[in-house]
Structure 1
Amino acid sequence: MRYITVKDTEWTYPDRLDYASAGDRLTLHSARGSYAAGQILFADVPAHAAVSIHVSGSVSDFELEKYELVPVMVESNPGMNPGNSTEHTPVRKAPYRLYDCAKPLGETLSPEGGTAGLYLAFAVPEDAAPGNYDGLVTITVGDEKAEIPVSLTVYKAVVPADGSLKVINGFWRNFEQYHGVANGTPEADELESKYLKMLRRARQNMMYVGGVRGITRPDENDVGEYTFDFSPLEAIVKRYIAHGMKYFNMSSIGRRKSWKESTILVGDNYPAMSYEAFRFLSAYLPAFQAFLEEKGWVDRFYIGVSDEPNDANATEFRALCGLVRRFAPKLRLLDALSFVPVFGALDVWVPLNSEYERHRKEFESMRIDGSEIWMYVCCGPRGEGYINRFMDYPLLSTRYLFWGNYKYNLTGYLHWAANCYQPGQNPFEQNCPEHRNADAVTILPPGDTHIIYPGKGEPWMSMRLEAQRASAEDYELLCMIAEHDKAKADTICAMGFKAFNDVEYDVHKFEQARIALLKAASEI
């Protein structure tokens, strides 16, 4: 049976069998508390062929997670043109189909054009004995059999279960419509639990939350007071904590009216600088802070003021931040933004990685009062070599994201979408949907809406989610090394990552950097 193995750092496709990392064996390296993974592609597979996997030798000491790769459509390369394209981005001209989705392996395969793909991940526990493990992965497909040699080197280094990097990808409950379950049912709760476990597996430790209900409000004569019910929010937070989440980004206080106007709206569409907004905020913010203090959650929470302030609303944004600080001084203010004149307004600055790179000196000056700097990506940056998690960028583009966090001491990462499928979007067939934000309409780059797929009865992860997990693990190891020898950690980082638009895309050179990372972390 014809097969090839491919590194987990390289994209695979149902219409190709030639890859830079192609081989005939799985050569794996892993820290403890991590995974050792690779891909296998088979040619000339008949439809619905039965499949089974058996592991022998010392490598069988480790639990093997088995997935079938599912091809998904990349229908276009929106936002890319000869002026902003590079040697590596886009990685391929659309349209094409890509093995981004990985579903748990069933009893049969679903080849496309005769090609079937597997993703195999050995779970290496924290207490595994360091050393070399060998064996065979015997895969039977129909009447044919492939015996694939495996060598796994387990290093002494241990990836900490609780990482220091704060990671948030927006999670939407709209998964229910994709699975045909009703909101509030046990089936929906069970599905949500599966999604949350998948995010935790990828080292996400922070969630967007909301759910505050207004109970009373002033009447048309301004008689009466605002009162609030925080019990729905409390229930959500407790559910997330039970699944291992530690931090929470409260829904923004305000929202823009237009990308072209200064007005920020709060509450029931009150202009933020109006008396009505003052009345609302002077009641809501102290009540929210008191709720967090009562629950002991002040240190777990951040709150947005108004997402992505721009030049048009920067002055109003700063004024609104001042109101928040007056009424709830213990709240930490966090927002994603570009380089706009809101200096000093926030506690946590979350610039686009491209904006940070272009305005590094200015953003670094925001640390003067103890403020944190994170970074985010979304539909941008697009082009000019800046890394992102897009499906038409090399898979290493996702893998390097948190190497940038290490290099620049950016202590968190934010993305708006773990599973934020747009209206009518089938993420298996459409990955560049239309997206509306206030009065702006855009066609999103492929993969911006999700890193999890709505599978049959369960979520299915993506190869980009796996790359993000591995990147978060790399970050922790780099930080561990830096505590003892920062120069060594910086040197290893520079083997792969020099800037957010300057990374090494040769998969073999990346593997050298990764092995150097594992060895250095094991010497501590």
Structure 2
Amino acid sequence: MARRGEAEGRQLFLRAAAPLHQVRVSASELVSDSGQRLDRRWLAWHFVNYVHLERNSRATPADELLWPAPADYPDELSDDLARDLPADQTQPIYLRVTVPPTATAGRYRGTVTVQSAEGSEVLPLELTVSRAPAPGPERFAFVYWYSWDEACKQFGVARNSAAGWRVLEHLAAMMKVYHQNSVVIPWHLISAWQRPDGGLQIDWTDFDRYLEVMRRAGVDRLFCLAHVGSRTTQDWLCPTMAAHRLEMRRLDTLETVHVSTLDLLPAVEQHVVELGLLDRFAVHVADEPIAENLESYRQLSTEVRRRAPRLRRIDAIHVPQLDGSLEIWVPQTNYLEKWLTGFQAAQKAGNELWFYVAWVPQGAHTNRMIDSTAIKPRLLHWLNALYGTTGYLHWALNHWHIPLTSLESPGDQYICWPSRRFVANSSLRYEAERDGMEEAELLAELGRAGTPAEQSHGMVSDFTHYRRSWEELEQARRQLLAELEQRQR
């Protein structure tokens, strides 16, 4: 069952006793019982690629893994149009139907044909479009930090070239499809020079163009200026944080100088006000403050507020003692669970409360590791609706230059893959996250009262206790859609 304006995916599995050559897939249009039609262009398919892992995620126990490494794990949705398949090897094929917002409710039928040089097989395809209306405006913020450079490298173009800007447009379009509605703004988009009097002359051309690309794509709920500062050493327990210094040139002598990011904040704030985007703008102070550097972080955040008093501050955090230092709190889910009451008190005091994951937490926590079930990244987003948080952050959409062996946590580094035909290839995990975001919106739309288990028809009891059955997930989702349908009558 699918809701109008959303996508529904399923896998079929192909296995043959003899080799197959030039295997490809095609689909018919889908026709409803009342004669309504969904054109075949609304259906996409992908071979699912396996990734080989020598070692499993370091913080995930054996009972939380799909299977032990070394082994192959399904993830990437390939951009291959056809491929040869050896005998006695199972090949998953991912099918996705995107339902137009204007589609008529009802049961649709069609066929999927798997063809090869040796023959073909026709399979039935059935889709029920729910009577529930298409979703309204998104309730939750969703941001992936990403690499514009990595996407450009796949096409051999420079980031600041005309082709590089087209790559950004395609990235933004992909973000929107997968419900990302907020984006980080790199400091390199602010072109500044130092005047002889020590003041700054700023060219906002690239900054404004970037905002316009994202706004046209609909990735414009929140613009987050990248971190003002960081730890002063590479040591995680480093007790001090300080503002970064940006390299620029003097206007009169052209000599290179280094200027604190703090010195640019007043101009950033003023420009954002002039653009009319103050209510959709925030600034990162420094990433992941912990108890060992909390005092230094608070001092830096205070200075950020002094330089730009109208800009909201946002950060991923590991500590709750941040009253007056942030307006958008983003605790890691294990810390959100640990100090839930305190974080909810901060939310009631007027702050926004999101959550994030990175290479941790693992174990029974919902995350997006390649060697865990994809039900985890799907249910991850249900937490927003079930706990009253309003956003999700992750640091890595497409950091392809970082190996999957990094921190022995395969999947933390990226959730989409390099592509030969597209700006990126999706993955089973990315598809699961899209479904989970849609279901979080459905849960919020219903506004069911009670415990997380009562709200979710038993799917999610708390942060680490949830059902692992895809059949039970589908049943819960159908029940939620049925409730929404009932309310429309």
With the length of structure 1 as denominator, give the TM-score of the two structures.
0.82
> 1:489 Cα shift?
8.8
Unaligned runs of 5+ in 2: 248-258
Tell whether 2:240 aligns with 1:263: yes
With 67-76 and 117-126 compared, the bigger mean Cα shift is at: 67-76
User: CA, structure 1 residues 33+56, in 2 after alignment: closer, same or farther (shift >3 Å)?
Assistant: closer
Aligned to 2:31: 58
Whether the 8 Å contact between 2:232 and 2:238 is mirrored in structure 1 is: yes
Q: How does 1:362-377 map to 2 (within 5 A)?
A: 362-377=342-357
> 1:286 Cα shift?
1.6
Whether the 8 Å contact between 2:25 and 2:112 is mirrored in structure 1 is: no
Whole-Å Cα distance in 2 between the matches of residues 70 and 161 of structure 1?
Answer: 34
> 1:217 Cα shift?
6.0
Whole-Å Cα distance in 2 between the matches of residues 100 and 178 of structure 1?
Answer: 20
- Of 48, 69, 78, 2:57 maps to 78
Give per-residue Cα distances to partners, 1:447-480, cap 9 Å, x unaligned.
Answer: 1111111111321111111111111110111111
- Of 36, 43, 48, 2:8 maps to 36
Aligned to 2:175: 199
Whether the 8 Å contact between 2:400 and 2:418 is mirrored in structure 1 is: no
Q: Give 3-state SS (helix, strand or coil) of 1:365's partner.
A: helix
> 1:235 Cα shift?
1.8
Whether the 8 Å contact between 1:399 and 1:467 is mirrored in structure 2 is: yes
Q: Give 3-state SS (helix, strand or coil) of 1:324's partner.
A: helix
- Of 383, 387, 394, 1:415 maps to 394
Give per-residue Cα distances to partners, 1:258-287, cap 9 Å, x unaligned.
Answer: 3333222214289xxxxxxxx956642221
Q: How does 1:32-431 map to 2 (within 5 A)?
A: 32-44=4-16, 46=19, 48-55=21-28, 58=31, 61-62=38-39, 63-80=42-59, 85=61, 87=63, 89-104=64-79, 106-109=81-84, 114-160=89-135, 162-173=137-148, 174-210=150-186, 211-216=189-194, 224-246=198-220, 247-258=222-233, 259-268=236-245, 280=260, 283-383=263-363, 385-423=364-402, 425=403, 431=404
Tell whether 2:413 aligns with 1:449: yes
Whether the 8 Å contact between 1:47 and 1:114 is mirrored in structure 2 is: no
User: CA, structure 1 residues 32+457, in 2 after alignment: closer, same or farther (shift >3 Å)?
Assistant: closer
User: CA, structure 1 residues 172+346, in 2 after alignment: closer, same or farther (shift >3 Å)?
Assistant: same
> 1:189 Cα shift?
3.2
Aligned to 2:439: 474
Q: Give 3-state SS (helix, strand or coil) of 2:474's partner.
A: helix
Give per-residue Cα distances to partners, 1:140-193, cap 9 Å, x unaligned.
Answer: 233232222222211112342641211011120222223333333344333333
> 1:494 Cα shift?
4.6
Aligned to 1:512: 475
Q: 4+ runs of 1 displaced by more than 6 Å? A: none
Identical residues among aligned pairs (%): 26
With 108-117 and 461-470 compared, the bigger mean Cα shift is at: 108-117
With the length of structure 2 as denominator, give the TM-score of the two structures.
0.88
> What is the alpha-carbon root mean square deviation over aligned residues?
2.5
Q: Give 3-state SS (helix, strand or coil) of 1:407's partner.
A: helix
Whole-Å Cα distance in 2 between the matches of residues 269 and 237 of structure 1?
Answer: 21
- Of 482, 490, 495, 2:458 maps to 495
Tell me the matched-pair count: 462
> 1:317 Cα shift?
1.1
Q: Give 3-state SS (helix, strand or coil) of 2:312's partner.
A: coil
Letter in 2 for 1:229: D
Whole-Å Cα distance in 2 between the matches of residues 154 and 488 of structure 1?
Answer: 29
Whether the 8 Å contact between 2:387 and 2:452 is mirrored in structure 1 is: no
Q: Give 3-state SS (helix, strand or coil) of 2:291's partner.
A: coil
Whole-Å Cα distance in 1 between the matches of residues 180 and 85 of structure 2?
Answer: 31
User: CA, structure 1 residues 68+165, in 2 after alignment: closer, same or farther (shift >3 Å)?
Assistant: same
Whole-Å Cα distance in 2 between the matches of residues 67 and 191 of structure 1?
Answer: 22
Q: Give 3-state SS (helix, strand or coil) of 2:440's partner.
A: helix
Letter in 2 for 1:265: A
Whole-Å Cα distance in 1 between the matches of residues 87 and 278 of structure 2?
Answer: 51
Whole-Å Cα distance in 1 between the matches of residues 30 and 426 of structure 2?
Answer: 29
Q: Give 3-state SS (helix, strand or coil) of 1:72's partner.
A: strand
User: CA, structure 1 residues 185+122, in 2 after alignment: closer, same or farther (shift >3 Å)?
Assistant: same
Whether the 8 Å contact between 1:167 and 1:414 is mirrored in structure 2 is: yes
Unaligned runs of 5+ in 1: 1-28, 271-278, 426-430, 434-442
Q: Give 3-state SS (helix, strand or coil) of 1:446's partner.
A: coil
